[in-house]
């Protein structure tokens, strides 16, 4: 049976996002599979995986994300997380009031330098590969958006829990590192969990091993979400059979008032979802055609 859709996995600690995707790929026996938004190996939580024709919609699943994370103060790690080696220490541990005075520095347009141990490319080479070889290099700052960030005390004086809503591409490890620097100390991410992508929350996810178990007994279909349901915030247009054929053949055609321009629309006929297209001055231009 050809499978097309999305599955939302609760990625376990200790494996890469690629390894999680690869395990599902082998279990399902599919050729086309991909994910939206990498999680670090030590991180857990929502990993959005597209299967089959759904891989054509990955770029549309570019949603804001919510993270829960614990920051430990007083140590600098080479990876900016718990998996790294301690390279500097400080006895300066901030108070709740100290941290509160810095939060606004991160909200909305915040420029961050990705961690050296990240997948950002430097002259075609992944930064983490250069870091492992002790090569010297510098990464450029990039603008990200942190829409909201709250923090809470824990039972440890040097550790605080944070919850942040941020744009795609945000490095939580950079937030911890930068927060430490602002407070004249060091900090790293001790625990990290992604709790939400767009409208997908923890109630929508399934443990990786549980999903693989369902695949084994052939009872996994209810865990697969359709492309249309996942991207239900994108408007859809219903077309007749003749225009549907044009769309599926990748042909542009006039359909709307010539004043209308829309970047992304779903197009469907009475039987199925046909694909994604744009409208430019009333003319439909197919962008991604689904073979469903």
| CA 185/CA 266 separation, integer angstroms | 50
Hey, which of 90-94, 245-249, 257-261 has the most confident mean pLDDT?
Answer: 90-94
Separation in Å, CA 191 to CA 123, 140, 157, 208: 31, 26, 16, 19
User: What average pLDDT score do residues 142-165 get?
Assistant: 96
pLDDT category, 182, cuts 50, 70, 90? very high
Q: Is the CATH number of domain 236-289 3.40.980.10?
A: no
Give the pLDDT of residue 136: 87
pLDDT category, 185, cuts 50, 70, 90? very high
Return the CATH number of the domain spanning residue range 65-197: 3.30.2350.10
Same fold, 65-197 and 236-289: no
Model pTM score: 0.90
Q: Is the CATH number of domain 5-62+200-230 3.30.2350.10?
A: yes
Contact 111, 169 (CB under 8 A): no
User: What average pLDDT score do residues 200-228 get?
Assistant: 93
222's CB contacts (< 8 A; 6+ apart) are none
pLDDT surpasses 80 at 1: no
Instruction: Break the chain into its structural domains and give their ranges.
Output: 5-62+200-230, 65-197, 236-289
Judge whether 40 counts as a catalytic residue: yes
| CA 134/CA 74 separation, integer angstroms | 24
- Considering the candidates 10, 40, 81, 178, report the single residue annotated as catalytic: 40
């Amino acid at each position: 049976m050809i499978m097309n859709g999305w599955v939302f996995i609760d990625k376990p600690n200790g494996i890469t996002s690629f390894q999680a995707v690869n395990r599902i790929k082998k279990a399902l026996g599919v050729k086309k599979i991909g994910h939206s938004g990498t999680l670090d190996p030590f991180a857990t939580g929502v990993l959005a995986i597209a299967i089959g024709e759904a891989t054509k919609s990955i770029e549309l699943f570019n949603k804001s994300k919510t993270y829960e994370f614990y920051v430990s103060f007083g140590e600098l790690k080479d990876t900016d997380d718990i998996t790294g080696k301690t390279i500097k220490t400080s006895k300066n541990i901030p108070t709740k009031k100290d941290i509160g005075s810095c939060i606004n520095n991160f909200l909305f347009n915040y420029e961050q330098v990705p961690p050296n141990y990240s997948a950002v490319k430097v002259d075609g080479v992944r930064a983490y590969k250069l870091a492992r070889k002790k090569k010297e290099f510098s990464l450029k700052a990039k603008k990200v958006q942190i829409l909201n960030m709250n923090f809470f005390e824990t039972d440890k004086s040097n550790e605080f829990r944070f919850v942040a809503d941020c744009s795609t591409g945000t490095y939580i490890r950079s937030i911890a590192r930068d927060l430490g620097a602002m407070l004249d100390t060091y900090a790293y991410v001790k625990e990290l969990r992604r709790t939400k992508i767009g409208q997908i929350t923890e109630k929508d996810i399934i443990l990786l091993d549980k999903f693989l178990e369902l695949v084994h007994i052939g009872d996994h279909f209810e865990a697969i979400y359709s492309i249309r349901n996942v991207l239900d915030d994108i408007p859809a247009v219903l077309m007749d059979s003749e225009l549907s054929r044009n769309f599926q053949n990748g042909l542009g055609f006039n359909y709307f008032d010539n004043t209308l321009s829309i970047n992304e629309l779903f197009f469907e006929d009475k039987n199925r979802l046909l694909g994604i297209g744009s409208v430019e001055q009333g003319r439909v231009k197919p962008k991604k055609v689904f073979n469903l």
